[in-house]
Amino acid sequence: MLILARNKFTYSEKGIMLSYHLPEIEIIGDPSLLNTVWDNLLSNDIKYNKPDGIEITIEEREELVIVTFVDTGIGMSEMELERIFERFYRADMARTRPIEGIGLGLSIVATIIKLHCGNITLNSKEKVGSTFIVELPFK
């Protein structure tokens, strides 16, 4: 069963409104690894977001579960999008320097999604926000 792990960040301290619509859908895979995916994606949304909010949705489409994380954060340039899932890559250091991290989270996410025969895509625009779309087969 899909479970979003409690995140280490306190949402109210950052003034972030989190909204989510999560039906109970069973996904084939390792619950611990999938929780790592959700935790990393939500952590990034919180780290790089503005107070406008984060939206998480889950839907069934054919034989896939689509999990979408939308934020109104700092976004990324086209060049950054090409490398964002590489190990140790961090987006523009001038914009992200005060934010902790070594650039492994999204690489780990991509690896786990591939291990589960899934796919992850990212749409992003600087100063507008990012949308991560995870597609996984379900039971």
> Dihedrals φ, ψ of 82, to 5°?
-65, -25
CA–CA distance, 90 with 26 (Å, rounded to integer)? 33
* Domain 17-115 in CATH 3.30.565.10: yes
Mean pLDDT per 10-residue section of the chain, whose length is 139 residues: 40 61 74 88 80 79 89 82 66 50 78 94 90 88
Give the domain ranges of the chain. Answer: 17-115
Which residues contact residue 120 at a Cβ distance below 8 angstroms, ignoring those fewer than 6 apart? 85, 109, 110, 113, 132, 133, 134, 135
Q: Give the pLDDT score at 49.
A: 77
pTM passes above 0.85: no
Q: Give the pLDDT score at 32.
A: 87
Give all strands of the β-sheet with 119-125 in edge-to-edge order: 18-21, 54-61, 64-71, 129-137, 119-125
Q: Give the pLDDT score at 4.
A: 41
